[in-house]
Every structure is written in C-alpha cells, then in structure tokens.
Amino acid sequence: MNVIELAQSFVPLLLTALCVFGLLYIAHRFLIVRHRDQGSEYLFSRQIWMLVFTVAGLIAITLALPVGDSTRNQIIGLIGLVISGVFAFASTNIFSNLAAGLLLRVTKPFALGDFITVAGHFGRVSERGLFDTELASDSGELIALPNTLLISSPVHTIPASRALVSATVSLGYDVHHDKIIELLKEAAEKCELASSFVQVLSLGDFSINYRISGVLQESKGIITARSELHRSMLNTLHKAGIEIVSPNFMNQRPLKDGLQFIPVQPRAKKTVEEASDAESVLFEKAEVAKQREDKIVAIKVEIADLTVLKDSAEGEEKAALKEQISSKEVELQLVLETKPEEMQIEDSTSGVVNTEITEGNKPKA
C-alpha cells in the first residue's frame, strides 16, 4: 500500500472526527453555554444528553477506523468494558457522584423546596445538580453537598406541604405538670399551630423536660414558626408566674427572698416585620426554584388537558383550543428561559409567580 492509498484510508476517519467534534461543539453551545445561568436543576437533563452524544460520537469515530471488522468489534467491546468498569469501580471519583445524581432522580427522596437534614447539615433544597445538591442553610449560606453523601447517609426530609414544629423546655418539680401542659398548648395555639400536643420527655434529677409540638401548614415558614413558638412559650409561662429555671439554679450574687427571674412584661406593640421575612431572606433561591418547577409542571398539565379537549373538538372550538395551547406553550418557554434571578418570589395572596418579559428574557421564536 503506497502513501496515497494509506492517506485515502484515513479520509473517512478524519471526516467523521471533524463532524463529531463539530456537532458536539454545536450541541454544547446550544444545550449548555446558552443556558449556563439557569442553574444545575435546569441543566441536569441537558448534561445527560451531552454525555450520551459524546459516547455516540466516540462509537462513530471507532466505526470509521481503517481497520478490519474483528479489530473494530474488539475496540467497541473495549470501550464498553471501560465505561462499565468506570461506573462499576467509581466509588470515590466524579462518576460516583454522577451515578448518585441519577439515582436520586429515580428514588426522589426529596424535591426542590423541601427542608432536609443530612450529615449534620440542615437547609432547604435550592438546586439538584448532576454531581451535587445545593442547600440554603438557616444561616443564609449556600452548601453544596456531593450526591454520594446523600445516598450514603440518612436524609431527614420535611416536605414543603406541612411540617411539625417542636420546642423543648425544662421546668422544676414545684409546678404541676398538668398546668404546664395546658400553658404550652396555649402557647402553640397563639402561634396558629394545629393539632398541638405535649410530651413529657424525661424526669431529671432537678427538672422535667417537656416538648410542645404542632403542625405548620406550609413548611417554608418553619424558621419563623420555631422562633415564634419559643417567644410564645416565654410570654405564656412568665405571665403565669412560672420561672424557666431548674431548682439547682445558682447565681454568684446575693438575692432577696422571693425574687423571681421573670422579666417585666413590655407594652404590647405592633410587629413591623412580616412573619415570613426570615424565610424570604434565607431561602429566597430555594423558594424561587420551587415555584419555578411548580409553574412548569402546572403549565405542562394545562397543555396536556387542552390537547385532549382539542382532539375531540371541531370547528371554531378546535381553533380556539389551538390558540390557547399556543399561548400556554409561549408561557412555558418564557418560564424555561427566564433566569432564576429574574423571577420574583410568589405572592402568597395570589399564588402566582410574577415574571416580567424584558428584552433579555423574551422567548425566542
């Protein structure tokens, strides 16, 4: 075989390689680069498609190699063996997080907007990525947890629909427990917690440990609800003349007989802050992500329902349904292409995610 024939045998390989790399570049620009600001949750499926395209491109280049069929089959078998080995033995590398991310999508132990506790980390899920999951903590920090940690550690989930709010307190034996239970339930009712109940956790050497719990209808306000419950417990117990100190309480300064450690009740004043102010600051990103996903699901359901009606309709009714479907598809595209930072938190009174169409987020034709 002369040089010209050898060069001609590599022409299909070079053309195939150029086409594969060109298509991968275009796919990367279209699927990833143009939507890089959308967040890991939105990019997850696109990253999976890029992985599939890359493997397909590698197989296409292998098929174009100027070798015999047996050698080509051996190379394809070797590629399959390498991929299988990577996934089989990837316990501490990037592929283990990839496999864990796929497993979390299948098992769905939590969703966007849920509060979870894992490995000592507590927060609200703001993003679910291909390799990690992001939490917005109650201290305002964004914590990225590797997906392998989420499948290898117990995950405690508080659904977005409702949550159990609890608080504990230690009180002395000099106050009857029935009175304490009544006052703690009263404190929970003032916080608008439903189905409240009190548990006597333990009988200590010097004090009794109580736990008051109640149901909060929307878990997104759990941080404020816990704070309000503690404050209500303080006010209720102090108004009843009950000291929140155990009998072995001791201070280094001399005290008068009969002195109680109950602060003077201040004059009632209006609360300036809204009850959800803390959550709107701490979990804004998680709340926007949750509302965005709910909005996408709701629009897709509406499109599916309208499509069913259109298939059975005729004449003007069918044309009107087509117009409604087109309007919903435009609305869906707008939500998908709107960056999370451009969306506003849902108005609790209207229940609608407010989005504004600007020159930067108009849906593309």
CB 219 within 8 A of CB 161: yes
- Inform me whether the pLDDT recorded for 364 exceeds 70: no
pTM score of the predicted model: 0.55
CATH of 106-158, one of 2.30.30.60, 1.20.120.450, 3.30.70.120, 2.30.40.10: 2.30.30.60
Q: Which is more confident, 217 or 365?
A: 217
What does the alpha-carbon distance between residue 137 and residue 122 come to, in Å, rounded to a whole number? 6
Rg (CA), the chain: 30
pLDDT band at 268, cuts 50/70/90? low
User: What does the alpha-carbon distance between residue 106 and residue 1 come to, in Å, rounded to a whole number?
Assistant: 54
38-47, 60-69, 119-128 — most confident range? 119-128
Q: What is the tens place of the pLDDT at every residue in 224-266?
A: 888 999 999 999 999 998 888 765 655 455 667 776 667 676 6
DSSP three-state, residue 70:
helix
Distance from chain centroid for Cα 183: 36
Class of domain 163-248: alpha beta
Q: Name the more confident of 89 and 156.
A: 156
Lowest mean pLDDT among 93-97, 219-223, 229-233: 93-97
Which are the contacts of 337, defined by CB distance < 8 A and separation ≥ 6? Answer: 35, 361, 363, 364
Asked if residue 148 lies in contact with residue 96, where contact means CB atoms within 8 angstroms, the answer is yes
pLDDT at residue 285 above 90? no
- Using a pLDDT cut of 70, give the percent of the chain over it: 76
- Domains of the chain, by residue range, sit at 3-89, 106-158, 163-248, 283-342
Q: Is a pLDDT exceeding 90 seen at residue 114?
A: no
DSSP string for 30-51: HHTGGGGGG-HHHHHHHHHHHH
Tell me what pLDDT residue 34 has: 74
| Inter-CA distances, 247 with 171, 177, 239, Å | 8, 15, 19
**Of residues 229 and 31, more confidently modeled:** 229
Encoded amino acid at 37, one letter: D
Per-residue confidence band for 87, with pLDDT thresholds at 50, 70 and 90: low
pLDDT score of 172: 84
Most confident of 117-126, 289-298, 306-315, 335-344: 117-126
Q: 361 near 337, Cβ under 8 Å?
A: yes
Alpha-carbon span 175 to 288, nearest angstrom: 47
List, in order, residues 6 or more apart from 25 with CB less than 8 Å away. Answer: none
| Token pair listed for 319 | 């044309």
Cα gap 217→288, rounded to integer Å: 19
Q: Are strands 194-203 and 208-216 parallel, antiparallel or unpaired?
A: antiparallel
Position 348 pLDDT exceeds 90: no
Name every residue whose Cβ is closer than 8 Å to that of residue 72 and which is 6 or more positions away in sequence: 62, 63, 65
- What pLDDT is stored for residue 232 in this prediction? 92
Q: What pLDDT score was predicted for residue 345?
A: 55
